């Protein structure tokens, strides 16, 4: 029953399924001092910057490690040691941003809404007006723990209007959801290789406003995560400071070449939106319910309520679906039993249709019935 000779499709928001051309790019070894490798690094920085049209305003600083390393680098490099950061929270990644800010010894305030409620510019205005000591605001663009999209353009305008500095975790939105640095004011925006640009995991990158980064020498309390040092070293030598993730860099370069050839951000958004629509249509037809309201759902990852049938448990369900060739993601909500399905990666609506079929077959194999029947009966009785 299981697909022994091919990898399962990853319906997880990083690592995700990459194209064959991207995987094939990793079959060579590169010297970190070699000019040919440093040409690739320069091209990757250039192509990433072009995605958000930030050439005139921001520099792209790549950093080894998973996405969180780059977030920690951004906060630690930009926020002065006596700075005060307001973190906007509606999920696990907002909580992580708050935690790392505090661990680095910066003063922290938080503003939290429920997992299914976006932060609004009015919320941020109230918080900033109530505390003049806040210097920085941290926002998660798409909160991957549910798939909720926070209103980045409105919040960015508000923060800039109040003369504060905005740090955006755009990890799961960058490359798919439009972000234009010419229209949206931010001082730092962070993303990583293994999300919507469909590379392998292993490096993050931060777009930092050049005039801001120039002021950041000596602020970082960490050697490895100092983005100012990483940037100035790279500008001076064309090389990475410390061992680069060579295979990841060349794979990201290949992924970006395919990204541009396929039509860039608008095309990526359309494919993910088609994946998301196909997924939600197929799952709701089966009786699943989506956790978020459609108006605030980003086409990146979808949270579904788990079946209410007492025979359901995530692990056996996951195993059944996995045996059919698809990897699901557990839920990340503490109050509710949910699971998540990613819409991103080198897949299209056809793969999503197969995934929905795999879910249906798995439910059948486990003898799980969906709650839509009792619900329909209750409605009939009421009428
Ligand atoms: C993936 C992701 C991160 C980074 O997570 P890592 O596990 O460190 O790669 C941060 N924020 C958001 C919103 C993400 O989706």
Q: Is the pTM of this model over 0.75?
A: yes
List the beta bridge partners of residue 301.
342
Tokens of 245: 């993730």
Q: Terminus-to-terminus CA distance in the chain, angstroms?
A: 45
Sign of the C-alpha dihedral computed for residues 339, 343, 344 and 348 taken in this order: positive
Closest residue to atom 6 of ligand 1, CA basis? 67
In whole angstroms, give the CA distance from residue 207 to residue 170.
11
CA 102 to ligand 1 center in whole angstroms:
18
pLDDT band at 254 (very low <50, low <70, confident <90, very high): very high
Q: Is it the case that residue 1 has pLDDT exceeding 80? A: no
Nearest-atom index, ligand 1, CA of 68:
8
Domain ranges of the chain: 9-13+264-382, 31-261
Question: Which residue in the block uniquely carries the two structure tokens 């209103």?
Answer: 151
Any idea of the CA torsion for 273, 279, 281, 286, to the nearest 10 degrees?
A: -170
In tens, the pLDDT along 194-242 reads 999 999 999 999 999 999 999 999 999 999 999 999 999 999 999 999 9
In whole angstroms, give the CA distance from residue 314 to residue 317.
5
Give the Cα-Cα-Cα angle 204, 205, 208 (nearest 5 degrees). 150
Nearest-atom index, ligand 1, CA of 195:
1
Stretch 58-64: mean pLDDT, rounded? 98
Which one is predicted more confidently, 340 or 6?
340
In tens, the pLDDT along 72-90 reads 999 999 999 999 999 999 9
CA 113 to ligand 1 center in whole angstroms:
20
Cβ 132 vs Cβ 91: under 8 Å: no
Any idea of the CA torsion for 117, 119, 125, 131, to the nearest 10 degrees?
A: 100
Pocket test for ligand 1, best of 15, 68, 72 (most atoms within 8 A of CB): 68
Which pLDDT value is given to residue 376? 40
List the beta bridge partners of residue 143.
148
Could you give phi then psi for residue 191, rounded to 5 degrees? -150, -175
Tell me the average pLDDT of the chain.
95
CA 92 to ligand 1 center in whole angstroms:
10
List the beta bridge partners of residue 189.
168, 207
The SS3 of residue 376 is helix
DSSP-derived secondary structure for 328-348: -EE---SSS-EEEEE--SS--
Residue 201 neighbours by CB distance under 10 Å: 18
Residues 6+ apart with CB under 8 A from 103: none
Nearest-atom index, ligand 1, CA of 69:
8
In whole angstroms, give the CA distance from residue 16 to residue 31.
27
Which pLDDT value is given to residue 124? 98
CA 13 to ligand 1 center in whole angstroms:
9
Q: Is it the case that residue 318 has pLDDT exceeding 70? A: yes
ω into 173 cis (within 30 of 0): no
In whole angstroms, give the CA distance from residue 185 to residue 354.
41
CA 173 to ligand 1 center in whole angstroms:
11
CA 378 to ligand 1 center in whole angstroms:
41
CA 177 to ligand 1 center in whole angstroms:
16
Closest residue to atom 12 of ligand 1, CA basis? 171
Q: Is it the case that residue 373 has pLDDT exceeding 50? A: no
Question: Which residue in the block uniquely carries the two structure tokens 């730092």?
Answer: 188
Residue 319 neighbours by CB distance under 10 Å: 13
For domain 31-261, the CATH class is alpha beta
Which pLDDT value is given to residue 383? 32
Count the helix, strand and coil residues of the chain and give each as a percent rounded to the nearest 5: 45, 15, 40
The CATH number of 9-13+264-382 is 3.90.1150.10
In whole angstroms, give the CA distance from residue 253 to residue 44.
5
In whole angstroms, give the CA distance from residue 142 to residue 152.
9
Tokens of 162: 């109040």
Which pLDDT value is given to residue 3? 52
- Enumerate residues lining ligand 1, CB below 6 A: 13-14, 66-68, 93, 140, 144, 169, 171-172, 192
Q: Is it the case that residue 274 has pLDDT exceeding 60? A: yes
CA 68 to ligand 1 center in whole angstroms:
6
Q: Is it the case that residue 372 has pLDDT exceeding 70? A: no
In whole angstroms, give the CA distance from residue 351 to residue 279.
10
Helix (H) or strand (E) holding 208: strand 203-209
Pocket test for ligand 1, best of 71, 98, 144 (most atoms within 8 A of CB): 144
């Amino acid at each position: 029953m299981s697909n022994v000779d091919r990898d399962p499709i990853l319906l997880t928001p990083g690592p995700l399924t990459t194209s064959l051309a991207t995987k094939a790019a990793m079959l060579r070894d590169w010297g970190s001092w070699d000019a040919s490798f440093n040409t690739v690094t320069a091209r990757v920085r250039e192509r990433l910057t072009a995605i958000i049209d930030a050439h005139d305003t921001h520099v792209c600083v790549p950093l080894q490690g998973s996405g969180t390393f780059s977030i920690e680098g951004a906060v630690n490099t930009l926020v002065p040691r006596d700075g005060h950061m307001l973190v906007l929270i509606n999920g696990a990644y907002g909580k992580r941003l708050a935690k790392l800010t505090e661990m680095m010894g910066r003063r922290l305030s938080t503003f939290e809404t429920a997992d299914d409620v976006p932060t609004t510019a009015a919320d941020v205005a109230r918080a900033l007006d109530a505390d003049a000591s806040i210097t920085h605001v941290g926002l998660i663009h798409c909160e991957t723990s549910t798939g909720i999209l926070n209103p980045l353009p409105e919040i960015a305008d508000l923060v800039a209007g109040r003369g504060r500095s905005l740090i955006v975790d755009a990890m799961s939105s960058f490359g798919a959801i439009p972000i234009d640095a010419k229209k949206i004011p931010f001082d730092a925006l962070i993303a990583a290789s293994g999300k919507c640009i469909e590379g392998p995991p292993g490096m993050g990158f931060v777009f930092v406003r050049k005039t801001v980064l120039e002021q950041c020498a000596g602020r970082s309390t960490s050697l490895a995560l100092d983005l100012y040092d990483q940037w100035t070293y790279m500008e001076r030598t064309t090389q990475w400071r410390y061992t680069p993730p060579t295979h990841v860099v060349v794979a990201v370069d290949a992924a970006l070449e395919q990204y541009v050839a396929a039509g860039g951000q608008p095309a990526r958004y359309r494919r993910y939106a088609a994946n998301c629509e196909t997924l939600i249509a197929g799952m709701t037809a089966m009786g699943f319910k989506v956790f978020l309201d459609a108006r605030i759902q980003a086409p990146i990852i979808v949270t579904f309520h788990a079946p209410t049938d007492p025979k359901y448990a995530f692990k056996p369900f996951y195993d059944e679906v996995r045996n059919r060739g698809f990897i699901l993601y557990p839920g990340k909500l503490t109050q509710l039993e949910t699971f998540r399905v990613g819409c991103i990666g080198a897949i299209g609506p056809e793969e999503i249709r197969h995934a929905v079929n795999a879910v249906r077959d798995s439910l059948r194999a486990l003898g799980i019935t969906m709650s839509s029947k009792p619900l329909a009966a209750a409605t009939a009785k009421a009428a």
